Structure 1
């Protein structure tokens, strides 16, 4: 699966000359924005990213008008899910350490 956005620490140099189908080692966060098949992002991709042990999965759910940050992957799912409606900030844990402003999402 190719996420809508992928973030890794600069020192990992994951994106230099790599094919789009790379191993997830070093990926800190993936982002998906729902489209015509939101269940794929809500369920199938969530489980795939958890299985890949990607620490954070940010789902921008357009039809639910909310953002969900999944964290603490274990096996085929995430143990934590923090959701906020569009317009509220999403606290992003380290290594990001900021609040994501979603006021423009509404």
Structure 2
């Protein structure tokens, strides 16, 4: 993902495992697997950044017992409530990616699911095309 973002949008940076203030999620804090803001975004933020300026969050489903609730319900709702324009969920359980966008009223109005192997156009403001064929290699 980092290489793809740098190739197509060099003014952005995909920060891994960045602490985010997500007030509607559990205790008001989340650690997305990836956060895509402009390069230099985290400067002066300390351990927890506000969501303002973040174009996309990336999550990869975990293997925990609460994955369905946490990764597929609570986190998308929390990110939408903060107004993060795009949420990319890489779902290892069913070998798919889900692109959430159009946050409104604490929920994403649009979600589209693609099987691993598909070419996915991430919507504005990200505007990057993602080839998901290599994601198959990382599913255990």
Aligned pair 1:53/2:104, yes or no? no
Q: Partner of 1:67 in structure 2? A: 97
C-alpha distance in structure 2 between counterparts of 1:81 and 1:90, whole Å: 13
Equivalent residues of 2:58, 2:90 under 8 A apart: yes
Return structure 1 stretches of 4+ with deviation > 6 angstroms. Answer: none
| Structure 2 residue ranges without an equivalent (≥5) | 1-29
Q: Take 2:56 and 2:34, find their aligned partners in 1: how far apart are those partners?
A: 8
Counterpart in 1 of 2:38? 9
Give TM-score, length-normalised by structure 2.
0.69
**What is the total number of aligned residue pairs between the two structures?**
104
Unaligned runs of 5+ in 1: none
Cα root mean square deviation, aligned: 1.3
| Structure ranking higher in strand proportion | 1
| Structure number with bigger Rg | 2
- Counterpart of 2:62? 35
Structure 2 distance, partners of 1:62, 1:105, is: 9
Aligned partners of 2:125, 2:75: CA distance in 1, in Å?
A: 22
1:91 and 2:118 equivalent?
Answer: no
Answer whether contact 1:2 1:20 (CA < 8 A) is retained. no
